Structure formats: structure tokens, C-alpha cells
Amino acid sequence: MTVSYTLDISRSNTKSVIKLLFRWRGSIWKAVWLQLLAWCIAYFSISIVYRFALSNDMQKSFDTLATYFETYLEKAIPLSFMLGFFVNFVINRWKEFFHGLGWIDDFALAIATYLRGSTEQTRVLRRTLIRYLVLTQTLVLRDISLQVRKRFPALETLIAAGLLTQDELERLEKIPDVYTRYWIPCHWISELLYEAREYGHISSDYLLEKISDESNKFRHGLAELLKFDWVPVPLVYPQVIFLTVRIFFALCLISRQFLRNDDHDIYVPVMTIFQFIVFMGWVKVAEALLNPLGEDDDDLECNYVIDKNLICGMAIVDQGGQPTPKLGKDIFWD
Amino acid sequence: MTVSYTLDISRSNTKSVIKLLFRWRGSIWKAVWLQLLAWCIAYFSISIVYRFALSNDMQKSFDTLATYFETYLEKAIPLSFMLGFFVNFVINRWKEFFHGLGWIDDFALAIATYLRGSTEQTRVLRRTLIRYLVLTQTLVLRDISLQVRKRFPALETLIAAGLLTQDELERLEKIPDVYTRYWIPCHWISELLYEAREYGHISSDYLLEKISDESNKFRHGLAELLKFDWVPVPLVYPQVIFLTVRIFFALCLISRQFLRNDDHDIYVPVMTIFQFIVFMGWVKVAEALLNPLGEDDDDLECNYVIDKNLICGMAIVDQGGQPTPKLGKDIFWD
Amino acid sequence: MTVSYTLDISRSNTKSVIKLLFRWRGSIWKAVWLQLLAWCIAYFSISIVYRFALSNDMQKSFDTLATYFETYLEKAIPLSFMLGFFVNFVINRWKEFFHGLGWIDDFALAIATYLRGSTEQTRVLRRTLIRYLVLTQTLVLRDISLQVRKRFPALETLIAAGLLTQDELERLEKIPDVYTRYWIPCHWISELLYEAREYGHISSDYLLEKISDESNKFRHGLAELLKFDWVPVPLVYPQVIFLTVRIFFALCLISRQFLRNDDHDIYVPVMTIFQFIVFMGWVKVAEALLNPLGEDDDDLECNYVIDKNLICGMAIVDQGGQPTPKLGKDIFWD
Amino acid sequence: MTVSYTLDISRSNTKSVIKLLFRWRGSIWKAVWLQLLAWCIAYFSISIVYRFALSNDMQKSFDTLATYFETYLEKAIPLSFMLGFFVNFVINRWKEFFHGLGWIDDFALAIATYLRGSTEQTRVLRRTLIRYLVLTQTLVLRDISLQVRKRFPALETLIAAGLLTQDELERLEKIPDVYTRYWIPCHWISELLYEAREYGHISSDYLLEKISDESNKFRHGLAELLKFDWVPVPLVYPQVIFLTVRIFFALCLISRQFLRNDDHDIYVPVMTIFQFIVFMGWVKVAEALLNPLGEDDDDLECNYVIDKNLICGMAIVDQGGQPTPKLGKDIFWD
Amino acid sequence: MTVSYTLDISRSNTKSVIKLLFRWRGSIWKAVWLQLLAWCIAYFSISIVYRFALSNDMQKSFDTLATYFETYLEKAIPLSFMLGFFVNFVINRWKEFFHGLGWIDDFALAIATYLRGSTEQTRVLRRTLIRYLVLTQTLVLRDISLQVRKRFPALETLIAAGLLTQDELERLEKIPDVYTRYWIPCHWISELLYEAREYGHISSDYLLEKISDESNKFRHGLAELLKFDWVPVPLVYPQVIFLTVRIFFALCLISRQFLRNDDHDIYVPVMTIFQFIVFMGWVKVAEALLNPLGEDDDDLECNYVIDKNLICGMAIVDQGGQPTPKLGKDIFWD
């Protein structure tokens, strides 16, 4: 589920910043604590071994190694640079994902007005169009979002959910190509609209096409999601980034030990722990957003979107055929 | 309220830069002074304790700690890098927000011309369409902007403001789903336009659709705002940034103390204070813009936009049905 | 006035680079010389005081201060980072401004062809449409560009310039809301086009709407400019940047003095002067572009755009109703 | 073939990061191992020569050289900066490429509905339109993708693949200009649609134009690809980047040797090896994406796209003329 | 002429990288060698003077100066930062330029189908329309591209090239305003299309407008180019960048000399030479792309575009009026 905190920051003052910093769900703390714990255990284990178990000579070798690592650590690995560019890239991709998810309002408003008629038959038609569009969305999201897949493991479960009828299921299953199958309900929408035009429920080709445009826009968003799924960010890119961060902190386990002849031995590597929180938090932004349809706290809730589209779409089209409020002069009338 | 300073900078010379730097409202000074004061008090308290209250040994330990912090401060925490990318990201998001707010001119100009008729009835119709669009905007902004919520705490207050009638309120309240409710006035607009087309006030389907397009564009902007509200920037991202800045300056309290054996003890940490102003000002840009509909000096004034749309929309549609100026040869006529 | 130098760089060789570097109008030299002079005077005054007027002890204190400043100068103030991101942001905004200014070609070409008729009456109509669109542009630019405001200090001056008639002025003045007033000429355009359609000068609703689209696009650009003017870049952002640069070079006045025990005293701080030119030039890019409608050398010439639109628009619409060249086989005909 | 790993990262936890890091196909390991091996061999050869073969004086010269290189290595060559910007640029270009490839769904759905008729003749027509669009795609991709060129070395091979008939081939070969030839099948599509409109298979000009729009969008994508091919990134840019990385690591062969009087000689240059992996992996992202239609693991599979378009397009248009599912009340009906 | 190297990089392996690095046309080597030579001569001259001609005292002064320069060189001048942002900016601008150039395919395909008729008269009409659009392009490019200006120094030369007739030339010359003149052939196109519509060669206003849209899109691209030419990047920006690079390497002439008491005197400043190649190559990217219509190796070939548009446009419209291939079942027919 996405984590909302907009109200916390309606004023940017110290209080709201503090409230923001100490949230738990979807937070840096939740994302980092386990790894930080593991890192600390490793660090202190090495520290104890170094201080108490190693012979003088071995300590000396350790010193050599640690000094060598520390010398090159910052200059060899441009951590902040890589993260800056990568997070920038991933967050833009996440925004595109978000826009691809699809909201049914436009389509519903278009058919509520332009598909005329107050009969039960036209109401059935309007509701069916909404159902088909949500069905397309569900078919697509099942294949790219684990959340939706878990909710609808088989096509049959869509019947129980009221998104599909037995008859429609059979027709879908006749289509061998999975990718084609996604768009069959969209084809039904086109056909139903075309017939409605022929029966005069839609008064012109122009308005027919305006409704079709809305369903097409919805469908394009879903097609974008499929493309994102088919061709993800080239593997090397996230690998380089994630690897770099891990190597960096693995090396810190040795390079940031307080050596015998260090003049500032304070036992606890406070700065490196801070650094760990900052960088692991930063990389976490990238990891969580790389697959926005996953199951992280901040991932997009596809099931919620499906339900919302169904409820909202049905509610809007049921307004169709009802009279508008009576017109009257407004209070600013001169 | 937004802070305008465009006139100050019509020439980029030293004078205009100075005028720009010493404004107060929405300024870096206003944003930073309190935190800077708190930081300075903390700094000098520690300074006094260090200089006068600590024993020699404790001073030594303090020196160790401060040196350790200072050593890693710059290299461990890539403050400027993170801020650069984050502010860049937030300011782009703010621009999108701004474009979503919606200005009624296009819609008003379209109905002023294409919805023909000089009768009182058509005037009522035109004014009602404007009212409905502003109503939609107000319904949406009430739920995402604290300013608007404070002005219209309950739906009933919209009646007093002339945006809603009792009849319409009852209809709205019949819709259970809040999200659907936003768009009901848009549906009324569509219906009214469709009826106007049937009565011949609009001369063709094509022009009908052009008017609808304008109200749809307006509505899309509002839908974008709702999406921004529903899925904010993933929490980890601002947390990492805001935390990093605070940790940085907390550490500076110790690391930037003038130590006993420092060769440049000047008592007042001028450079760190400058650094504080610069970085806290920079992060302030991000904090203020992260929720552009909040109550900061630089946040967008939603109530002003609502009023402006109502006034401007009514004024434009009231031009409808009035004759244009008499045509004549212009002075460049050869 | 904008500064054109495209021809200088049609080949990227040393000669063209040198020609580019030594231009004066709109150049870094013109932008920087005065401030550099002031800075140098300050620097050498301090230098002289330090070398000849200070006692030994005071020199020592000065040394301490200068060393302290120098130590933190680079690491405390991430000048290049902030400038990089800010200039990037400002230059993108400047490009959007530029696109909002509006060129009349599209509108003029559309009415030249689709608004048929060779009578004087249709010619008057076409020319009036052009005049109204330029009038809208002038009304808007008067309120956001100092250049245009100076040329047209009062609405009456527009009559002398041939952009407005007495009758039209009176109608405009009846509109109380300034923002609404901008768009009244656009409303007249719509009305005139609608009437031309009714009289058959335009042969279909579709073509009518195509012409309207062009005037709408023009108007949108102007509305964008008004929005840019109403909500500028949040004040904190430019303040942070401009302040940082000034603080930086103020500190340099002390930190970059050649101290007594410096081993490379060369009297003239060549490097800091270079640095001054580079950074002040860079920040100048941002200062000049922050208000693109101001009066800097590189600002957009609004008055030129208004004149050009009037001349070019009139010339194009006067082609309307004239016969096209006689058709014939081209020389590639086989 | 593109490498999909989306499922691995549906949760961003340590396990999924590890799974991500240790993939082979399209991975950093596969990309880097050979070059790393070569580099290591060179490094250790030099190391052995330095340690055992050089005289004392020559060692001294070597030390001088290594120290000199090391001193300037980091500051002279801004590797991470250049890579950050370049990878950013290349990955955006890759995204545009990807969008240009073209998916046939929109076109197929449009003709399935708007090109009416259940006769065999109309089915032939619909299938032919699909075939022509895929043919255009194939003609274009043959000239810019090695993969497709290998599959269809001569135009004749397209006949065997069922994309072309002998008659069509002869007509294509009559067109001398290669660039024009690409678009001839698009012209046939336009003509066939126009005739279908005349015969009444398409019910209005408006719907005719909607279908044409879809084929135009498809064609524009391909035209973009041709432009990308014709004008690649200016050669200097990738040269600078690739050269810089190679020079950097060539210099490291000397500068990162453990010198005699080094206090941390650990024989294996662990840090430089890590650095090699990180930077070579990063530059690999750029190298692989610079020509997205090449034959790397992560390149776009053009042949797959062609097949998919043919299968999916045919399947969708064959739905044309078939009845839609029977309408009925949905389970949410109140 | 643009330099194509796409085939070289269809696989990203060492071989293709090497092939890429050692190209000459449009390469970094060609761009840099002359300046590098000049720099080296200057460097070694100074070196020889320093080593052999200077007295001991003067050497000392030189040492002071060099040390001073070197100390501030890296920190005072953020070369890589400025270049990173500037190249990023310039390359985006170059892409927009490229999109403005205009390809005639869309327009040609539209008139080939929608402008019906197989008579010679309609063929003349179609070909004339193509000619007029290419004429507009040529008129515009003559004024912003030196290449095209050289090919067509006077308007008369366009007659010889078959782009213009004597009659048309006279009409063009009657238009005093140069900017208006560019668009006159576009006006003729509109008129001819309008007449073709009246004579029934185009079957509906809708299709008429679709053709007009294509010529408008083409024209908009050209108008963009004119705007780019009129308002270039504000002069200060490239000046700052180009100046910084030159100052940097001028200072290096002194600061990178091997001083007497240097411990790594290797006579040849290998690292600075590498740095020179890298940075001058990088800045070359910016210099070459700043004016994309210039005469550098990588500049866009406007003359080629004009020829290609004429050939391709004529070839496509000549397909108009010819029958399409006979329809038949495809090989996948079940």
C-alpha cells in the first residue's frame, strides 16, 4: 500500500519535519534496520577479533589492509554520484508506471452522457462497457503484478468476482495468444459502441469516436505497463548500483575499524553507521521503485485501483439517463 | 500566498540582486532564522561546557570525538549531491502540480461563443456551467488543500458561498463514493451541454465536443492533483534527505568546535553558520515545495484560484450574446 | 535585445571560439567587469591594510581568520553544484517562456485560406482578426514586460498605435476584472468567426474550429506567461543561490589574501580573479534568465514580437482572396 | 534478447537483491569478466617485472612514474561525472528507440471494428492491411537491425515468410529510392482503406481517418528509428567517454602497483579490481544501449516484435465480424 | 555530413569499442589534434626556457607561481561540473533542432491517397504541392544554414534547381517582409488544397484538414528552427564554458611544469595531455552541437534533406492514382 503523509507536511516547519522523520510504515527505518543490525554484528565481531584474538603481527597485517582499503574507498567508488543519477532515473520511470495504471473516470463520464437512453437495456449496456474495461485492466495486471495474481490466481476466479461471465471466459480461452487475449474485451467495447451507434443510442460518429478515444487511452496505459514489464531497465544498470553499495559497506567493515595507532578510537563507528543509514536509505528508494507493482510498502496498490475503477465507473454510468438539477439564477446574478 | 518578485529582477544588476536578497516574506531568512538560533544556542552551550566545565581528560576525549566526526563529515555525507537531485525532482513535481490547478478561461470562452442565445434562459445556462466547473474544483481542493478545507469545512458552506444549491447538495450526498462525487458536477455539465445541443443552442456535434474537451482538460488537471495526493513521493526519499541534513548539522555541533590545540580559534563558527544558512535554505526549497497546496508562504493559493475562476468565468460568459465592436478599416490599410 | 552569434560558430574551430569569446553585447565581460572591479578594489584595500597598517599581532589574528575561512571555504559551500542545478532549472524555464510568447503565422495562414472572400468587407474582417490577436498579446505583455509597459503606458496609447479603436477601448474598460479583460478580444475573434461561418465565409464547422484552435493556442501561450508571472520560482531558491555566490566571494576577500608566511606570494590573486569571472558569469546566466521579459541584453524583445506579428499577420491575410500561381509541369517531370 | 528480472524484485529485500546480483545473462559479470581477466594478467605481469626483473634504478624510475600518475589520476579524469551524464543521456535515447518500435494492437483493434463485414473478402482485406503494416516494419528494421537483416537477407526471403507476394515484390523493386520504398505498403494501406470507405465497409470519413491515424502513428515510430540510424549521437561524445575509461584503467596498471616503499603492500589490488568492475559495468550500460537494435543480451529483439505483431494483429482482426457476448445484468446490479 | 557508426557497435565488445575509438571523421582525434599540438609546443617551449634560460632566482619565482596555480587549479575551476551540465543542455537542444528539420513523407502519403484523380492535371497538382513544401523548407534553410546559402546564394538559383518558377519568384519578391515570404508557398498549398476540395478531388472537409495538418506540422518545425536562430542560447552561457576550458589549460602550461624540486620529473606531462584530450573532446561535443546547421563533420546536412524530400515526395505522390496490388489470402489463412 502506498504511504500517504501529505497532511504532515502542509506547513514546512520543524514539527512537521520531525513527524515526517519518525514514521515507520514505508520509512527509511523499516527499510534499513535489519541490514544495519547485520552490519553492526559483523563490525563488532571483527572488532573483537582484531582487538583480542589477533597476534601482534596479524594486527599489523590487518592495519595494512584497513589502511589500504580506506585510502581508496572514497575515491575509487563514486557512490553518491551513481546513486544520484540512478535514483533520478528510477523515479522518473516510476512516474510513468503510475500514469499507465489507468483511471476509468473519463470513459465513464463519456458513456454516461453520450450513450443515451433510460431503459434497462441501455443501463445494462453502460455497465457492461465499464465491466469490460476493468476486465482488461485486471487481465493485464494479473500478469505483471504479484498482488493481483495472488487475488486472481486463475481466470475462473474472475467469474466469482463478477468481472467475467462463463460465456466470456470460454471466448477468451479460445484465443491462444496471451497478449491478444488482453485486448479482446476492448474489442467487445468497440463492437458494442458501434452497435449502439447503429441503434441510435449514440447520436453521431464523432461522439462514438470520442468514447472510443477514452477506452483507447486507458488501453494504451496498460500496454505501456506490459512494455515496461517485457523490457525492464537493462540488468547491468541496477546490478552495478546495488553491487557498488554492498561492496562499499563490506569494505567498510574492515577499513573503518579503529586501528591500534588511531588517535580517535571511540569504539562505536558512529559516522559509518550514519553513512550506512543514509546510503542504504537512498538505495532503498531505488530498490523499491524499480518494480512499482511489487509488494513493498510504497508499491502501487493494483487491487485497490481495480476495485475503485469498478465502483466509481458503475456509479458514474448509473447517473446516465437521470435528469440534471433544475436550473436557476445563481446568487451573483446582477 | 505566493511571493512575487518578478519586477525586482527585470534588470539583473547588483541593485536588483540586493533587493532580492533582502526580502522577508517567503525568504530564506524567514525560513532559517529560528532553526539557526536554536543551533547557535546549542553550539555555544557546548562550547562553554567544553572550555570551562570539562576536565582536561574529558576535553581530550571530546577532542578525539570531534576530530573523528570532522574527518568523516564531508566524505561520509554527500549533502550537496543529494540535495541537488532532490530539489530538482521536487521542483519538477511542483510545476506539474501547478499545471493541474486549472484555469477556467478556455471553457468560458468556448461557451460564450458556441452556446448561442441572448435570452435569460441561455444566460442562466452559461452561468450554471461555469458554477458547476468551479464546484468540481472546490470539491476536489477541499480534500487536498488545508486552506480550502478551512474555508469550506462542510459541504453546506458551499451553499452559502453560492457554489451549490440545496437540491444539488442532496443529489451529491446520495453518491456514497467520495471519489465519484467529485465528478458529478462534470456529468451535469455534459448533460446540460448535450441538451443545449438538442435544443439547437449549440449548432453541431463538433462544437459540442469542443466545449466538452475544455471541461475535460480542466477535470484532468484536478484528477492529477488527486493522484499526487494519493501517491506522494515515496516516503523514504524525503526522509533520507531531511534526515541527512539534520544529522549533518547535529554532528557539526561537536565537530566544528574550536579545539584547544586548534590554531585558528575565533570563537564564532562563521563558516558553519554560513553553511547552515545555505544548506537549510536549500532544503527549505524542497520542504516547502513537497506539498505545494500547504500553508507555506510559497504555496499555491487555492482559494484565490477558486474565486478568480468564478469571477473571470462569469464575466466572460456574460459577454455571450452581446454584439461585437463595429468593424472598420485599420490604420495600416493601404 | 537578444544577442545573435549563430553565424560565428558555423564551424567549431579556434577562430570561431575566439570570436565568440570576445564579443561584448550580452557577454560575460559586460556582465562581470563592474563587479570584478569592485571586488578587486576591496581586495587590494584589504591587502594594503594587512601588509602595511596592521600590527604584528593583528596580522596574526588576520592570519588565523584567513586560514580558518580558507579551510572550510571549498567544503562548506558547494558552489558549483548549486549553480549547475539552478542554471539547468532556470534555462528550462526560460525555454518555456520563449514558447509562450506566440507567433501569429498559424492563425494568419488559417484565416487567409479558410475565411473566403475577395470583397473589401472580408478583407476588413481578416485584418481585424489579426489586430485583435495582437491586441490580446499586447494587453498581456503590458502587464508582465517592462519594455512593453514603457511603450504603452496607458490603454489610450494603443489607439494611437492602431491596435485599438475608441469604441473597443470603452468596451474593454467596462470589464472590471483585469484578467478577464485580456481575453475579451479573443472572445470577439470567436464571435466574428462564428458570424463568418453563419454568413458562409467559412464553409464548415470543422474549418471554423480549426481557425479557433489556432487562436486558442496563441492565447494559451500568453496565459502561461501570466502564470509564470503570478507564481515565480519560489523566492528561497534564487535567494539561496545568489546569496551563496556573494558570501563565497566576500569570504575570499580575506581567505585568499597572501599571508606573511605564504610561500607563494604573487600579490595579484590571479586564480581567484579567474574564479570570480567564471562563477559570476555562470550566476549571471541564471540572473538574466530568471526574468526573461526584463531589460537585460539577452532578454526577449517583446515589442519586436508585437510589431513582427502585426506586420507578418497583415501581410499573410492580405494574400487571402488572391489567385495562386498557374500550375505547370515541374522540371523533374518524366 | 532482453533480460527480464521483474519478478525477482517484487519485494525489495536482501534476498531479492542477492538474486538480482547473481544472474548471468545480460549481467555485469558476463559483461566484465573477460576484460577484467585481461587487465589482471597485464597488472600481474607488470607487477612481477617490477618486483623481480627491474634493477634498483629502474625501480626508482618506475616509482616516479607511478607516483606521478597516481597524483593526477583522480583529479585529471572526472570519470564518474562523465559517465553519470552520458549514461543518463544514452538511457533516455534508448527509451525513445523502444517507443519507436511499434505495436500493432491499436491499428488491429481499429480495423476489427470499423472495417465492417463478415464476408471472406472483408476478412482478406483486414488481414492484408495487417500484413502490409508488418511488412513496412520489416522493411525498415532490415536496414537498421542486424538481427532482422540476418533473418531476411534479401527481399525474396520475405515472400517465403508470407509477408510479401511476388506481385508486391515487383512493384517494390520498381521504386528506385530505398527510403521511399519503405512507405509504399503504407500507401497501399491508405488506398485500400479509401476504397473500403467508397464501398461502404467503413461508414464515415471520420472513422476512415481514425484508422489511418493508427497506421500513421505506427509509421512515425519507424521513421524515428530511421532518423536515429541516420544521425547517431555525434561520434565525439561516445569516443570521449569510452576513451576516458580505457585510459583510466591503462594508467591504473602502473599507478596502482604496490611500490617498494608502500606501507600497505597486499599484492592483489583489491580496490582497483572493484573499481574496474564498477566502472566497466557502468560504461557497459552505455555501450550496450548506444545501439539498442544490436545483438547484445539487452538489445531489443526486433524479430520477436515482427512475429508478435503478425500473430497478434491477425488474431485481433479475425475477431472482426464475430458477434459480441450476450449482454446481461452484472452481479453488482441493485 | 553526419558521421554514422551504428554498425560498428551492434555488439558491445572490445573489438567494436576499438573500431569506434579509431575512426577519424568527426572524431575526437580530428577535433583535438591541432590544439593539442599547439598546446604541447607552448608547454615544451616554456619547459625549455624554465630549465635552461632562467636564472636561479627566476626559477624560484616561477616555482612560486606554478605552485600557486596548481593549488587552486582544481578547486577554483569546476570544469567537469560545468561541462557536464552544459553538454547535457546543448545535446538536448540539438535533438530539438533535428526534429525541426522536417521530412515530407507524411504530407506526401496524405496527398497521394486523399487527393484523388489519375489525370495529368491532378498529377501536376500533387507534384506542385510537394514542390511548394520543399520550397518553403529551402527558403527557411537558406537563411539559417551556411551550407544551403552557399548552394542557393540568390533566389534565382532556385529556379535553375527546379524549385521555383519565374512567375512564383516575382510574387515572392513582391512581399517585403522576409519572414512573411517564407510562408507564402505554404499559403499556396492551402489555397490549392481548398480549390481541390471545391472541385471534388478531395472528398470531405475532414480529409482536406488532415492534409493541411501535415503541411502545418512541417511548417512548425521550420518555424522552430527560425526561433532557435533568432534567440540562441544566451551568449554568456557558452562564453563561460568555453572560456573556462581555455583558461584552465592556459594555466596548466605553467602549473603542470615539472619543477626543480619535484620528485617525479618525467619531462612529458602525460597526464595533462590525457586530460587535454578528454576535456577538449568533451567541450568539442558542445561546440559542434551548439550550431547544428553549421559546417562541422557532425552537423546536419540540410542540402541532403532538401534533395531527399524532393525525390521521396515526388516518388510517393506519383504512386497516387495507381491501382493497389491484387488482394488474396495470405499464407497463414486457416
Q: In 3D, which of C63, D317, B273 has the Cα closest to residue A183?
A: D317
What's the Cα-to-Cα distance from A215 to each of A133, B19, B187, rounded to whole Å?
7, 53, 18
d(CA A316, CA B187): 8
pLDDT tens figures, E305-318: 999 999 999 999 99
pLDDT confidence tier of residue A125, bands split at 50, 70 and 90: very high
Is the confidence at residue E12, as pLDDT, over 80?
no
pLDDT confidence tier of residue E168, bands split at 50, 70 and 90: very high
Phi, psi of D135 (to 5 degrees): -60, -45
**Residue spans of beta strands (DSSP E) within D151-257:** none
Which grid cell is D61?
624510475
Per-residue pLDDT at C41? 96
Residue C91 identity: I
Choose the closest CB to C177 out of B84, B88, B315: B315
Q: Which residues in chain E are contacts of D219 at CB distance < 8 A?
A: 105, 109
d(CA D229, CA E93): 19
Does D131 contact E at CB distance below 8 Å?
Answer: yes
pLDDT confidence tier of residue A7, bands split at 50, 70 and 90: low
Which grid cell is C29?
565581460
Per-residue pLDDT at D6? 67
Q: Are A324 and B191 in contact (CB under 8 A)?
A: yes
Contact E242 C308 (CB under 8 A): no
Q: Which residues in chain B are contacts of C71 at CB distance < 8 A?
A: 264, 271
Residues 176-215, chain A, touching D (beta carbon < 8 A): 176-177, 179-180, 183-184, 186-188, 190-192, 194-195, 205-206, 209, 212
Average pLDDT over residues D69-75: 81
d(CA C235, CA C54): 41
Does D301 contact E at CB distance below 8 Å?
Answer: no
Contact D112 A187 (CB under 8 A): yes
Angle (nearest 5°) at CA C118 between C112 and C121: 95
C-interface mutation test, from B113, B265, B300, most C Cβ less than 10 A away: B113
Q: Which residues in chain B are contacts of A319 at CB distance < 8 A?
A: 184, 187
Is the confidence at residue D1, as pLDDT, over 50?
no
Is the confidence at residue A1, as pLDDT, over 60?
no
Per-residue pLDDT at C84? 87
Contact C235 B332 (CB under 8 A): no
Which chains form contacts with chain B, at 3 or more CB pairs under 8 Å? A, C
d(CA C100, CA C226): 10
Residues 30-69, chain A, touching B (beta carbon < 8 A): 31
Q: Which residues in chain E are contacts of D121 at CB distance < 8 A?
A: 327
Instruction: Label residue B21 exposed, middle or buried (CB < 10 Å: 0-12, 13-18, 19+).
Output: middle
Give the minimum alpha-carbon distance from D168 to chain E in angstroms, rounded to a whole number.
6
Average pLDDT over residues D227-238: 82
Residues 90-119, chain D, touching E (beta carbon < 8 A): none
Does C159 contact B at CB distance below 8 Å?
Answer: no
pLDDT tens figures, D13-37: 777 778 778 887 778 888 889 999 9
CB atoms within 10 A of CB C268: 12
Choose the closest CB to B328 out of C69, C124, C186: C124
Give the minimum alpha-carbon distance from E162 to chain C in angstroms, rounded to a whole number.
6
Does D75 contact A at CB distance below 8 Å?
Answer: no
Contact C316 E239 (CB under 8 A): no
Average pLDDT over residues A305-320: 91
Q: What percent of chain D has pLDDT over 70?
A: 97
Does D306 contact A at CB distance below 8 Å?
Answer: no
Instruction: Label residue A195 exposed, middle or buried (CB < 10 Å: 0-12, 13-18, 19+).
Output: middle
Give the minimum alpha-carbon distance from B192 to chain C in angstroms, rounded to a whole number.
21
Contact A265 B34 (CB under 8 A): no
Residue B184 identity: I
Q: Which residues in chain A are contacts of B296 at CB distance < 8 A?
A: 11-12
Phi, psi of A240 (to 5 degrees): -55, -45
d(CA E263, CA E321): 83
d(CA D41, CA C313): 72
Residue B118 identity: S
Print burial letters for E17-46: b (CB count within 10 Å at least 16), e (below 16). Answer: beebbebeebbbbebbeebbeebbeebeee
Alpha carbon E4 to chain centroid, angstroms: 14
D-interface mutation test, from E3, E10, E12, most D Cβ less than 10 A away: E12
A-interface mutation test, from B240, B246, B314, most A Cβ less than 10 A away: B240
Mean residue pLDDT of chain A comes to 87
Which grid cell is D63?
616509482
- Residues 6 or more apart whose CB falls under 8 angstroms from that of E312 comprise D177, D179, D180, E104, E105, E108
- Residues 6 or more apart whose CB falls under 8 angstroms from that of D224 comprise D96, D100
Instruction: Label residue B327 exposed, middle or buried (CB < 10 Å: 0-12, 13-18, 19+).
Output: middle
> Helices in E101-235 by DSSP H: which ranges?
105-114, 120-144, 146-151, 156-160, 166-174, 178-198, 205-230
Which chains form contacts with chain C, at 3 or more CB pairs under 8 Å? B, E
Is the confidence at residue D102, as pLDDT, over 70?
yes
d(CA C96, CA C225): 9
Q: Which residues in chain D are contacts of E204 at CB distance < 8 A?
A: 205
Among A290-299, E152-161, E278-287, the range scoring the smallest mean pLDDT is A290-299
d(CA A307, CA D332): 12
- E189-198's contacts with Cβ under 8 Å and 24+ in sequence apart are E189/E129, E189/E132, E189/E133, E189/E215, E190/C109, E190/C112, E190/C113, E190/C114, E190/E215, E191/C113, E191/C324, E192/C324, E192/C327, E192/E125, E192/E128, E192/E129, E192/E132, E193/E115, E193/E129, E194/C113, E194/C114, E195/C324, E196/E115, E196/E125
**CA end-to-end span of chain A:** 50
Per-residue pLDDT at D197? 92
Residue of B nearest to A30 (CA): B236
d(CA A212, CA A206): 10
Which grid cell is B36?
539557526
pLDDT along chain C (334 residues), means of 10: 63 74 81 92 94 90 88 79 87 85 90 89 94 95 89 92 92 88 92 92 88 91 87 83 89 89 81 89 84 76 91 90 85 84
**Which stretches of chain B drop beneath a pLDDT of 50?**
1
Q: Are A36 and A277 in contact (CB under 8 A)?
A: yes
Instruction: Label residue C227 exposed, middle or buried (CB < 10 Å: 0-12, 13-18, 19+).
Output: middle
Q: What percent of chain D has pLDDT over 90?
A: 37
B-interface mutation test, from C59, C239, C252, most B Cβ less than 10 A away: C239
Choose the closest CB to E75 out of C74, C207, C326: C74
Contact B278 C175 (CB under 8 A): no
- Reported ipTM: the value is 0.88
Which grid cell is A52?
583480542
CB atoms within 10 A of CB B277: 22
d(CA C102, CA C138): 11
Q: Give kind and range of the element (H or E) at residue D249.
A: helix D236-255
pLDDT tens figures, B248-269: 999 999 988 988 877 777 888 9
Residue B93 identity: R
pLDDT tens figures, E146-167: 889 999 999 999 999 999 999 9
Q: Which residues in chain C are contacts of E124 at CB distance < 8 A?
A: 327-329
Global pTM value? 0.89
